[in-house]
């Protein structure tokens, strides 16, 4: 086994030990949250940043979206 493979396996093991498992039901899709002012927003499932305001007539089907939070920037699906 080469040194690079050993290092790669150590990094993979260390990463898997330090990361939390996904919560039950986590599917990488936006959450819809209602805020105190009554507005509804699709939010990033990782950092909870507001992504898109949801109006009563809003309909979105499987829209890919990239989080605008500079510390997150993960992609997720908005499906309403």
Is 0.75 topped by the overall pTM? no
| pLDDT confidence of residue 15 | 56
Per-residue pLDDT of the chain (80 residues; tens, 9 = 90+): 677 777 677 666 665 566 565 566 567 888 899 999 999 999 998 888 999 999 999 999 999 999 999 898 899 999 98
d(C-alpha 12, C-alpha 52), whole Å: 35
| pLDDT confidence of residue 61 | 92
| pLDDT confidence of residue 8 | 74
d(C-alpha 36, C-alpha 34), whole Å: 7
Provide CB contacts within 8 A for 21, sequence distance 6+.
none
Neighbours of 40 (CB within 10 A): 16
């Amino acid at each position: 086994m080469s040194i690079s493979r050993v290092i790669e396996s150590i990094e993979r093991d260390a990463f898997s030990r330090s990361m939390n498992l996904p919560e039950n039901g986590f599917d990488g899709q936006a959450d819809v949250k209602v805020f105190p002012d009554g507005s509804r927003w699709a939010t990033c499932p990782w950092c909870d940043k507001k992504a898109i305001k949801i109006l009563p007539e809003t309909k979105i089907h499987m829209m890919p979206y990239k989080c605008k939070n500079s510390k997150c920037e993960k992609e997720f699906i908005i499906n309403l």
